[in-house]
Amino acid sequence: MVYISPGKALMLSALVAISFAAEPRRLRLNETTKLPPRGNPFTEEFNQYVKDLMDEWKVPGMSVAVIDDDQVYTEGYGFAVLPDTPVKPETLFLGGSTTKAHLAATIAQMISSGDYDDVFPQGWDTPMSSNIRDDFVLEDEWATTHVTMEDAVSHRTGMARHTISWVGTGEPGDIGKEWKTNKATVRNLRNLPMTAEPRIVFQYCDLMFIALAHIVETVTGSWIGDVLKKALWQPLGMHSTFLSYGDARKSGQQIATGYFWDEYAQQYVGQETDPVQSSSAAGALISNVVDYSKWIMCLMNATAPLSAEAHTQIRTPRILIAPSEATGWQLTTYGLAWERATIYGEVVFKHDGGTQNFGANVVWMPDTKFAVIMFANAVDGGNLIEEVITQRLIEEKLGLPVHGRRQYLDETKQNWAQARPDFDNATDILYPNRTTDASSQAVDINRFAGNYSHPGYGTYAFSVENSYLVPGETRDKQPQQQLVALRNDLITPTRFVLRHVAGDFWVAYQIPVRGAALGRDYFLARFYMEADGKPSALEITFAEETARISEVVIQFDRVDN
């Protein structure tokens, strides 16, 4: 995800992933030991445990599948649609960034089949630009010609996330929306700054999966959803899996509504559709745990419709994830849209997904023949408790004694508290040494209103409002004058607020219009002034999530002077 975070899908993973490196070596299993199946995990006690977590973390509904050897167990919890439509294992949810693995596996199969040697002559080492030369252009000429499909699929291109530049992709057959195509998104890459040299560091970038989808559409002449269906979903009998929300609705199957918890109103806010449905093969997949069990059984057992070579490529690590992103996972790497690590000495493949109001988590252990698949119709609490529940299920499968387990929930609560954007103290955090001189704080906010544009990030029309920072949230004692711009065209519709600090310096607040609290953020901002005192440009320093990478500084030029 694609998309909260994101929205911040991997940020959520980093927040709640548990430190396995510190576990005692005595808990490691004998590698030659085959663990027997443990039977149905959905006991009365376990079900109550899940329900309690859902209540505490404000998750309306969740579906779970557990694969234990050749047995598949499924369960639904809570509500697909409030107030009283229950979740079933067959309920459809958005899969977010778990979509990426379907695209990567399909390309692996295309390469291994030999049928596409003319367009992929070097396999995964084929340059991205070789098949979409006019479209795939990066700001660096060497990167344009040398970044490969392997670089893109493993997030090592040197390109930052740039989610706030992402408009998204329309439904198949949309007329007159050339600006909402995978091609248009790829052509915008030339306007976005790179933050590292290729193959140096892991930087999660949804946009590169849009580029991969565009390549597949170009060489096959087919919509990417049809390609995935033909390559994977039909052969696996996944008849409840879609890349188009329109197709999912036409199927007549139950689709969960996404929700977020409004802390100030103390109620759930529903959103029937999710903007991340416009993320194509980076995050738009809609499915259920029943279908996903078929998909994960294929991966875990290395079976058809994928070739042995394709399965080998899927399991091959491509880049090491820095410890700050892995949060203690033991030797975490990334490959074809899967993180690969170890848990108590056992190999595990994992990926989560987060949209504006849905969370997903998929974990499979090929040697242990065990997997957990979870979907939730809330992203903040959903992704969080999915991690906690998954760890418990894994520990129970491995037969670990209760006294030898870590207190994952306590650690998660602490990480959660640290990760929530501290809007109340944003100014102090960003400007700890600011002046309190009243003359530097006096400003005519009206002269800063206007349109500010960047070729990659688009145009922001800021107007003056006397309002609260977040509508409905009275964190301020009184409404304040501020500059506000709405971008409903982004993959996550966003409200941007500028509040003055001193002189030319401001705080820029990023607030999803309707969505998860962890999608919020704040950044350094400043205006550049002409000699006549009129603003000529707005500069925002977007903090990147990847360690050892500098911020992305974007200058929006004023275009209505």
User: Tens of pLDDT along 224-241?
Assistant: 999 999 999 999 999 999
Phi, psi of 48 (to 5 degrees): -70, -35
Residue 3 has pLDDT above 50, yes or no: no
Q: Is the peptide bond before 6 cis (omega within 30 degrees of 0)?
A: no
Q: What is the pLDDT of residue 561?
A: 61
Whole-Å CA distances, 171 to 176, 245, 246, 272, 493: 12, 8, 8, 16, 17
Phi, psi of 347 (to 5 degrees): -70, 135
The DSSP-derived string for 223-284 is -HHHHHIIIIITTTT-TT-BS-HHHHHHTT--BPPEEEEETTTTEEEEESS-GGGGSGGGT-
Q: Report d(CA 212, CA 203) in Å as an integer.
A: 16
Altogether, the residues listed in the chain come to a count of 561
**Spatial contact of 550 and 540, defined as CB atoms under 8 Å apart:** no
How far is Cα of residue 289 from the mean position of the Cα atoms in its chain?
Answer: 19
- Average the pLDDT over each of 96-105, 462-471, 533-542 and give the range with the smallest value: 462-471
Residues in CB range of 496: below 8 A, 6 or more apart: 460, 462, 484, 485, 486, 487, 508, 509, 510, 511
Give the pLDDT mean for 24-50: 72
Phi, psi of 529 (to 5 degrees): -115, 145
- Average the pLDDT over each of 27-31, 167-171, 439-443 and give the range with the smallest value: 27-31
**Spatial contact of 493 and 513, defined as CB atoms under 8 Å apart:** yes
The domains found in the chain, sorted by start residue, are 9-99+226-418 (3.40.710.10), 103-222 (3.40.710.10), 423-558 (no CATH)
3-state secondary structure of 513: coil
Give 32's pLDDT tier (boundaries 50, 70, 90). Answer: very low
Burial of 455 (0-12, 13-18, 19+ CB in 10 A): exposed
* Average pLDDT across the chain, whole number: 88
Whole-Å CA distances, 59 to 383, 417, 478, 508: 10, 17, 32, 30
Give the pLDDT mean for 2-26: 36
Q: Which residue has the tokens 């199946």?
A: 37
Give the pLDDT mean for 400-427: 75
Give the pLDDT mean for 191-210: 95
Quickly count: other Cβ atoms within 10 Å of residue 314's Cβ: 21
Give the pLDDT mean for 542-555: 73
Give the pLDDT mean for 72-96: 98
Q: Report d(CA 558, CA 528) in Å as an integer.
A: 10
